[in-house]
Amino acid sequence: MKSNDESERKWTERSGPKQAREERWEEWKLLHASPEVWTTRMLAGLRKGIKGNKWFSLVDKVWRVSTLQAAFDRVKKNQGSAGSDGQTIAAFGANLEANCAKCVQEWCAARRLQLHPEKTRLLEVTAKEGFDFLGYHFRAANHWPSEKGRKNLRTKLRPKLKRNNGRSLEKTIELINPVLRGWFHYFKYCRRWQLEAVDQWVRMRLRSILRRRRKRKGRGRGADHQRWPNAHFEERGLFSLVKAHESFCESHEVLPSWQGNH
């Protein structure tokens, strides 16, 4: 296998001026880097330039679960030898839970942190099961508002969205907008489709209010969507979580792949 230095020497020998050679060599290295580490967004950021020429979040990419899993799988496939601690792949995997707990404890101790023995547990985060933490639900490499987080939002909004509240539509929207804004600012890092579900629920409640004022029973549905379309509420100032999410992604140059295809 050719070394990195040998590849660089042969590259520079058949390239143009020195500065152009160096730039093309750096680009070549990025293009041939491991895809588990250098994502499309990261490469785009490097080409455009990072503010202050420092990438503070690089360690976050390296410690990402998918990156660590890919590295472990590669070492396991190659039957890698034991490291400086004498720990083999087989031995580590045989006592995985205890080893993970030890790693976490050492990491916390180095930062003068202490885990709560009753509130801390180790589990395997897979595509089929996850865990709730601080209002979010974490599963595999994704996270979104937990069911409890969504339920708490509905609990706060229901008193303001009663069908017989007697307030004008504009006044009702004025009352619920601060709650929606606060909830969005906490959960703005989740997927778009989760926010869309909340928007739909809020509009359904508003349509139910308008439906009741026409002496009709039940929640807003069917022809009510044509009678009071989404634009009807947008024109009256209703805060949209989806619209706010789109603005947030554009202002922070978040790529569509992060937003999800929903």
- Counted residue by residue, the chain has a size of 262
Q: What is the pTM of this model?
A: 0.56
Question: For 61-70, 98-107, 162-171, which range has the lowest pLDDT when averaged over its residues?
Answer: 61-70
Q: pLDDT (tens digit, 9 = 90+) per residue, 161-194?
A: 999 888 999 999 999 999 999 999 999 888 788 8
Task: Report which of residues 13 and 241 the model is more confident about.
Answer: 241
Element (H, E) at 130: none
Alpha-carbon distance of 207 to 23, in angstroms, equals 59
pLDDT at 72 over 50: yes
> Under a CB-based contact definition with an 8 Å cutoff, are residues 137 and 144 in contact?
yes
Nearest-5° Cα angle at 11, 6 to 16: 145
Nearest-5° Cα angle at 173, 168 to 177: 160
Confidence of residue 90 (pLDDT cuts 50, 70, 90): confident
Helix (H, G, I), strand (E, B) or coil at 20: helix
Alpha-carbon distance of 84 to 104, in angstroms, equals 19
Q: Which amino acid is it at 135?
A: G
What is the model's pLDDT at position 161? 93
Task: Report which of residues 80 and 213 the model is more confident about.
Answer: 213
